[in-house]
Amino acid sequence: MRRWLKRLYNSLLNLYCSRTLSNCGEGLFVGGFSRFTTGTTIGSHCSFNGMKVLGRGSVSIGDYFHSGTNCQILTENHNFSGNSIPYDETYILKAVSIGKCVWFGNNVIVLPGVSIGEGVVIQAGSVVVSDIPDFAIAGGHPASVFAMRDVDHYKALEEIGRFHQ
């Protein structure tokens, strides 16, 4: 009975999320409450275990993305340089781009305007404030690159279609 309820819950989450997205590839899996905006585009075979996309800016997520729980992607900031302090009534929108085969640990936050490359791993609890290059392993607050993936191994697995789903 529990397995049946879990499948029903996941199906409802998938339906809810896929209806709010701008575009969504095949094989979407939503395993925990997630919220997306209409400016969000998601590739194929992506897995979300608790993601909130906040703001009116656009978000592009590549194929085979995986996230842990309680992750956030922000796409707008208050305008602190406007005509009021600490900020005025306007917002600054900035797009976020995430490449294919990216993995976020739990509690990752991505700030507006960030670009994350292909094959990147972001350590749990990290705050990504600047661009992360392809195949990097990054973490911390602010997130910084502390290792690189073995690109030859990655490409060999990609060539034979060994993707986690």
111 in a domain, yes or no? yes
Each residue's pLDDT tens digit, 95-133: 999 999 999 999 999 999 999 999 999 999 999 999 999
Q: What is the mean pLDDT of the chain?
A: 90
Report if residue 41 sits inside a domain. Answer: yes
Give the predicted TM-score (pTM) of the model: 0.89
Question: Is residue 127 within 8 Å of 142, Cβ to Cβ?
Answer: yes
Contact in structure between 50 and 68 (CB atoms under 8 Å): yes
The answer to whether the CB of 100 falls within 8 A of the CB of 118 is: yes
Paired sense of beta strands 143-148 and 136-140, if any: antiparallel
CATH at residue 54: 2.160.10.10
> In angstroms, rounded to a whole number, what is the distance separating the alpha carbons of residues 65 and 79?
31
Question: Could you list the pLDDT tens digit for every one of the 165 residues in the chain?
Answer: 577 766 776 676 666 666 677 677 888 888 888 889 989 999 999 999 999 999 999 999 999 999 999 999 999 999 898 888 999 899 999 999 999 999 999 999 999 999 999 999 999 999 999 999 999 999 999 999 999 999 999 999 999 988 887
Tell me the residue range of the domain where 77 lies.
Answer: 2-159
What total of structural domains would you count in the chain? 1
Cα(20)–Cα(54) distance, integer angstroms:
13
Instruction: Give the C-alpha separation, 18 to 42, whole Å.
Output: 9
Residue 135 inside a domain? The answer is yes
Whether 51 is covered by a domain: the verdict is yes
164 is catalytic: no
Inside any domain, residue 6: yes
The answer to whether residue 165 is domain-embedded is no
Asked if the structure places residue 7 within a domain, the reply is: yes
Which member of 66, 78, 153, 164 is catalytic?
A: 78
